[in-house]
Structure 1
Amino acid sequence: MRLNEVVFNDAKPVEGYGPGFFRIGGTVIEGPVITGAMGTQTWGSFDDVAALLALAGEIDILFLGMGAEIAHVPADVRRQLEEAGLGLEVMSSPAASRTYNVLLSEGRRVALAMIPI
Structure 2
Amino acid sequence: MRQPPSIDAYGDGGFRVSGVWRPGSLLILDDSPQDWPVTALAQLGLGHFAGVIAAGAAVSEFVLLGTGATQALPPREIREALRAARLGLEFMSTEAAARMHNVLASEGRRFATALIAV
The answer for the alignment partner of 2:71 in structure 1 is 70
Distance across 1 between alignment mates of 2:2 and 2:102: 12
Q: Are residues 1:110 and 2:111 paired? A: yes
Q: Using the alignment, how far apart are the partners of 2:8 and 2:36 within structure 1?
A: 18
**Normalised TM-score (structure 1):** 0.84
Partner of 1:49: 49
Q: Is 1:12 aligned to residue 5 of structure 2?
A: yes
Q: Deviations over 1:10-31 (max 9, x none)?
A: 3201100012111111111111
Deviations 1:70-102 (A, max 9, x none): 011011111111111111100001111111111
May I ask how many residue pairs the two structures share in their alignment? 110
Higher alpha-carbon Rg: 1
Runs of 4+ in 1 over 6 A off after TM superposition: none
What is the letter of the counterpart of residue 51 of structure 1? G
Provide structure 2 residue ranges, at least 5 long, that are not aligned to the other structure. Answer: 39-43
Superposition CA RMSD, Å: 1.7
Residue identity (%): 36
Structure with bigger helix share is: 2
